[in-house]
Amino acid sequence: MLPVLLARNGTVSTPLPAVSVIVPVLNGEGTIRICLDSLMKLGYPSDRIEIVVVDNGSTDRTPEIAGEFPVKLVRCHSPVGSYAARNAGIRESSGELLAFTDSDCRVEPTWLKSVLPHFECAGVGAVGGAIAPEEPASFVEQYAIARHHCSGRRAYEHDFVPACLTANVVYRRHVFDKVGLFEAGWPSGGDIDLAWRMQMHGGLDLVFEPSAVVHHRHRSSLGGLYRQRRRTAIGSELLHAKWRTGQRRRPYLLRDLSHVLLKGVLMAPSLLVAPFCANVFLRLVVGMVVRVADITGRRLGLELAKQVGRNPGAAAIRAPLPK
């Protein structure tokens, strides 16, 4: 319960809730300064907010850069994983609301205040927001934006149960007391899993607030996009194994293999027009990389998901995960 204060005009007012913003990071020297600069401009009362940066074993200048800001720097070098880092941040935080964003994100000044009205309803456990792409600097980023990668709206409209992404979400602290922390061993899908647990086991609602905006920088290289898509595919398999979403009935493998074959057939003709229309060739290349990532990720995910299949109530996947 929030303490009650007496305003100067004699009316009773309630202070803003205490918020902890948790930012996991691993070798993020290229983006962490932009992220923290934006968090410094939130305009939230300084005595009601703390920013917890969880370093997950960086070998670059990330800790040094974070140390330049008034943040709480937490070291979590083992286990390696963004969800393990977020769990460490939860344990080291003190706010009644826990806000999550990523080190490659930039938040709008009104980010936190725009979600607060929803928490006036006791049945709301979390509020997710919009994830807007930064201006693309490469064709790979253009491709990701066109395919709506990392979309808060699409996560909320999930055809199984509404979900949210940890690039932009605010939870009540007691949600974690009721349903537990993130699946620390998962490379992806842990944010969706937590949102589903909160709703289906915790009896609390998830709300989407489009005015709570966070800007996200997509992967700019083929290698970065491949690794991200592979992690996402692994997470999809783990989610199915744990929740029996029914999505495995879809012929994903056949679809992805047919797409790779088709793109391979079209690759040679596209080279002929590449000097005049480079985007056609580039779209085929990036599309093929994405489909290969989906295939390899789902294969890896199926192997890891066997553990969940043997024990549907398992709290975590214990097998080592690909980086």
What does the pLDDT look like over 124-176, one tens digit per residue? 999 999 999 999 989 899 989 888 889 999 999 999 999 999 999 999 999 99
Bigger pLDDT: 250 vs 64: 64
For residue 29, count other CB atoms closer than 10 A to its CB.
17
Residues 120 and 262 occupy one common structural domain:
no
Q: How confident is the model at residue 281 (pLDDT cuts 50, 70, 90)?
A: low
pLDDT value of position 282: 77
Residues 152 and 40 occupy one common structural domain:
yes
Residues 181 and 228 occupy one common structural domain:
no
What does the pLDDT look like over 168-202, one tens digit per residue? 999 999 999 999 999 999 999 999 999 999 999 99
Q: Looking at the domain assignment, is residue 243 inside a domain?
A: yes
Q: Looking at the domain assignment, is residue 321 inside a domain?
A: no
Q: Structurally, how many domains does the chain consist of? A: 2
Instruction: Measure CA 26 to chain center.
Output: 14
pLDDT value of position 119: 98
pLDDT at 298 over 60: yes
Please state, in angstroms and rounded to a whole number, the distance separating the CA atoms of residues 85 and 95. Answer: 17
Instruction: Measure CA 276 to chain center.
Output: 38
- Mean pLDDT taken over the chain: 86
User: Residues with Cβ < 8 Å from 215, sequence gap 6 or more?
Assistant: 105, 106, 107, 108, 131, 132, 133, 134
Q: Looking at the domain assignment, is residue 316 inside a domain?
A: no
C-alpha to C-alpha distances, 10 to 5, 7, 74, nearest whole angstrom: 10, 5, 41
Q: Looking at the domain assignment, is residue 320 inside a domain?
A: no
Residues 214 and 256 occupy one common structural domain:
no
Closest CA to 258 of 247, 246, 268, 266: 266
Please state, in angstroms and rounded to a whole number, the distance separating the CA atoms of residues 297 and 142. Answer: 22
Say what the pTM is: 0.84
Backbone φ, ψ for residue 141 (5° rounding): -65, -40
49: containing domain: 5-220
Of 195, 220, 245, the residue at which a domain comes to its end is 220
Beta-sheet pairing, 124-133 with 205-216:
parallel
Q: Looking at the domain assignment, is residue 79 inside a domain?
A: yes
User: Across 139-298, where does the E strand assignment appear?
Assistant: 169-172, 205-216
Residue 100 tokens read as: 């999550």
How far apart are the two ends of the chain, measured CA to CA in Å? 42
Residues 131 and 260 occupy one common structural domain:
no
Q: Looking at the domain assignment, is residue 298 inside a domain?
A: yes
What does the pLDDT look like over 96-130, one tens digit per residue? 999 999 999 999 999 999 999 999 999 999 999 99
Q: Looking at the domain assignment, is residue 207 inside a domain?
A: yes
pLDDT at 323 over 60: no
Of 191, 220, 249, the residue at which a domain comes to its end is 220
Residues 175 and 233 occupy one common structural domain:
no
Do 217 and 105 form a contact (C-beta atoms < 8 A)? yes
Of 194, 220, 246, the residue at which a domain comes to its end is 220
Q: Looking at the domain assignment, is residue 55 inside a domain?
A: yes
Residues 35 and 76 occupy one common structural domain:
yes
Q: How confident is the model at residue 4 (pLDDT cuts 50, 70, 90)?
A: very low
Evaluate the omega torsion of the peptide bond into residue 79 and state whether it is cis, within 30 degrees of 0.
Answer: yes
Residues 270 and 198 occupy one common structural domain:
no
Residues 173 and 76 occupy one common structural domain:
yes
- Which of 169-173, 215-219, 220-224, 265-269 has the largest mean confidence? 169-173
Domain CATH number, residue 210 = 3.90.550.10
